[in-house]
Structure 1
């Protein structure tokens, strides 16, 4: 059975190390950051968003469990520009568990959780190159609200 459980401190430390590196790689691939600046920029971004780690107000980090096994994580919190909207800052189902519907089921759980917390909508960002994730999000009822575009020169 799929469940969300508040992330424990030891898992948070592993998550943070992985997430900062992954974010830097994604921003390089998207052409947003240079390889030289990416790691520092990613560390600054996470430090700004989670200054108190797991204790940062209005931020909720969960481990995703299938029965007793951690299969991924999700982090959401109050949107910086709209306090009635929850925003998914980071979400991953580990590779070994992908293509089994866990992503869609997790989004359903998070939708219920955020609604119960009093949020009126749920937003997220997805890199344009991540067509698999875009498909899952659209299938789960998310609509495109903004599109950033870039041209290589």
Structure 2
């Protein structure tokens, strides 16, 4: 698998981000959706990676710098044809390694509290993420869970 920084201009990446946003809309009420669109992902404080098997896009993930020692995982998504094949695990490893390289002391994330998000929560927990209170600009929300990991 080739994981590379992406400028978010390719059609395949745009479609995967659209799929991610549609999935969030199906599983979360609008006020609880914190997924970012293409334009928001192009923010200077966000690094976006796409993951490829040959010429096929298999997943994506992003890292947002919250402040000097704290990063946030954003936009983790596996292409539907590559679910349960280790794509998310490899992307998460990549993001954690990059966070350590940057000198972050903590890495956090927000995900949904509903059953559809159970696989993601299990993945994060398997990497040592623990449930925590809302961080950054997030507020308590029964539709969200927050997780963090000391690096």
TM > 0.5? yes
More helix by share: 1
Q: Which residue of 1 aligns with 2:128?
A: 141
More strand by share: 2
Higher Rg: 1
Deviations 1:22-51 (A, max 9, x none): 3333332xxx64xxxx9xx87xx747x82x
Q: Which residue of 2 aligns with 1:115?
A: 100
Q: Which residue of 2 aligns with 1:71?
A: 58
Q: CA RMSD in A?
A: 2.9
Deviations 1:73-113 (A, max 9, x none): 1122112xx43211112101112212122222221111111
SS across alignment from 1:89: strand
Structure 1 portions without partners, runs of 5+: none
Structure 1 consecutive aligned stretches of length 4 or more whose deviation exceeds 4 Å: none
Q: How many pairs are equivalent? A: 133
Structure 2 portions without partners, runs of 5+: 135-139, 144-151
Q: Is 2:87 the partner of 1:92?
A: no
SS across alignment from 2:59: strand
**TM-score normalized by the length of structure 2:** 0.71
**TM-score normalized by the length of structure 1:** 0.70
